[in-house]
């Protein structure tokens, strides 16, 4: 998945021709003819399978296309002033506007538990969080996600396993979540609810998790395979947070190295940032690193094929459909959230460090 400024999506034409799986739109506004520009990019796709078009349209302080979608309240304001039914209707309205301009995936809602004043350099979430209550965050976040799904926009819940009260901003450098034993009775619960309700995609954070892994979660098999796949029984798409983040570089990973590590850990879709001048080189180097890892056997080919299958399946969800019937989406397993969190990590996969 490659980054593009919403005002200049043609800048990623070469990457689209290379067959990237998605485009993430950044900036604070988009052109009135964004849908037409994105359609022109689709014509360049070599396989005939257009890339997913993603953006962060959370509401409040994080809106990339507010001039096209309209202003949205922050998650905290939604929780304080609206019922889940009203939040779902808001998600539907926002999703319809996103879909109309060519966006098929919204990197929202944030399910982290946070009551701070941010977002800021020291409080990544702040008002991006619905609540410090796991029950409220789950109910309101899932309601917003259901509205998006009904509009044909796939939601991505984030930032697993919960960035609320983290020690810093992973964009800038290393940070850690609350200890895992605390997440089990707090920050993990909204994600467990989202999985049990059949939501299709999860973004994994770049923070380490004390008591679970010293690695950034986005490249940790203990987090992705152990907790998300084996413990919560999540069967949908796993996406990384930005592999260009300071947390990854501080741990010794370039974007190509982090991409291979994330795929080995069980991620399906990789997110990174780069300037327009750097984008071509970073994309090519990342593809080359993945190819080399498959050829050497350090990244088993079946794991890469499984990731591609997840991406293609996820793309098929981006079609208008009713809100999730009976509290679940077809093809995703429903489980009791609290029961999922009772198991321990003794039988989970161990993290494989870079070069091992």
Expressed in percent and rounded to 5, the helix, strand and coil fractions of the chain are 45, 10, 45
CA distance 21 to 23: 7
pLDDT of residue 141: 98
pLDDT single digits (tens) 179-232? 999 999 999 999 999 999 999 999 999 999 999 999 999 999 999 999 999 999
CB 290 within 8 Å of CB 259:
yes
Neighbours of 342 (CB within 10 A): 9
CA distance 124 to 129: 10
Length of the chain: 356
pLDDT of residue 164: 94
Residue 161, preceding peptide bond in cis (omega within 30° of 0) = yes
What CA dihedral angle connects 126, 132, 138 and 142, to 10 degrees? -20
pLDDT of residue 317: 56
DSSP structural state of residue 324: P
- CA angle (52 as vertex; 49, 54 as ends), nearest 5: 170
| Strand duo 201-204 + 22-26: pairing | unpaired
Query: Would you tell me the crossing angle of helices 84-100 and 134-150 to the nearest 10 degrees?
Result: 40
Beta-bridge partners for 271: 242
pLDDT single digits (tens) 313-328? 998 855 444 433 333 2
pLDDT of residue 260: 98
Per-residue tokens: 169: 């901003």
DSSP string of 259-288, one letter each residue: HHHHHHHT-SEEE----HHHHHHHHHHHHH
> 353 — phi, psi (to 5°)?
-75, 160
Q: How many CA atoms lie within 13 A of 151 on its CB side?
A: 28
CATH number of 106-340: 3.20.20.300
pLDDT of residue 64: 96
Residue with tokens 């019922």: 83
CA distance 82 to 48: 42
Q: What is the CA radius of gyration of the chain?
A: 19
Per-residue tokens: 35: 């849908």
Model pTM score: 0.90
pLDDT of residue 349: 62
pLDDT of residue 19: 85
**pLDDT averaged over consecutive 10-residue blocks of the chain (356 residues)?**
93 90 93 94 85 95 96 98 98 97 97 94 92 98 97 97 94 96 97 96 98 98 97 96 97 97 97 92 95 96 93 72 34 38 51 44
Q: Where are the domains of the chain?
A: 106-340
In Å, how far are 133, 221, 334 from 214, measured between CA atoms?
27, 12, 30
The set of residues, in sequence order, having a beta carbon less than 8 Å from that of 162 and lying 6+ positions away, is 111, 112, 113, 177, 178, 183, 186, 187, 188, 190, 191, 205
Among 336, 327, 155, 324, which Cα is nearest to 232's?
336
């Amino acid at each position: 998945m490659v980054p593009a400024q919403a005002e200049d999506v043609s800048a990623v034409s070469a990457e689209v021709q290379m067959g990237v799986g998605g485009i993430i739109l950044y900036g604070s506004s988009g052109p009135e003819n964004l849908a037409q520009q994105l359609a022109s990019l689709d014509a360049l796709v070599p396989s005939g399978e257009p890339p997913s078009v993603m953006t962060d349209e959370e509401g409040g302080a994080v809106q990339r296309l507010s001039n096209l979608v309209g202003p949205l309240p922050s998650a905290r304001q939604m929780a304080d002033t609206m019922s889940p039914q009203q939040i779902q209707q808001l998600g539907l309205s926002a999703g319809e506007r996103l879909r109309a301009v060519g966006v098929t995936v919204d990197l929202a809602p944030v399910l982290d538990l946070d009551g701070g004043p941010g977002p800021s350099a020291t409080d990544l979430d702040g008002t991006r969080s619905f609540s410090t209550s796991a029950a409220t965050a789950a109910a309101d976040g899932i309601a917003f996600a259901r509205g998006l799904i009904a509009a044909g926009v796939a939601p991505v819940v984030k930032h697993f396993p919960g960035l609320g009260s983290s020690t810093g901003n992973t964009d800038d450098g290393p940070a850690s979540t609350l200890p895992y034993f605390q997440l089990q009775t707090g920050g993990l619960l909204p994600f467990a609810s989202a999985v049990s309700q059949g939501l299709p995609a999860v973004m994994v954070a770049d923070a380490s998790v004390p008591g679970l892994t010293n690695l950034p979660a986005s490249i940790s098999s203990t987090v992705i395979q152990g907790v998300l796949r084996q413990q919560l029984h999540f069967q949908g798409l796993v996406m990384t947070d930005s592999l260009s983040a300071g947390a990854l570089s501080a741990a010794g990973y370039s974007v190509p190295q982090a991409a291979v590590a994330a795929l080995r850990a069980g991620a399906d879709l990789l997110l990174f940032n780069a300037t327009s001048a750097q984008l071509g080189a970073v994309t090519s180097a990342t593809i080359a690193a993945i190819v080399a890892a498959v050829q050497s056997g350090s990244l088993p080919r079946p794991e890469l094929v499984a990731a591609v299958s997840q991406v293609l399946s996820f793309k098929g969800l981006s079609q208008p459909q009713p809100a999730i019937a009976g509290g679940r989406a077809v093809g995703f397993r429903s489980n009791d959230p609290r029961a999922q969190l009772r198991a321990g990590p003794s039988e989970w996969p161990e993290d494989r460090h870079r070069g091992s």
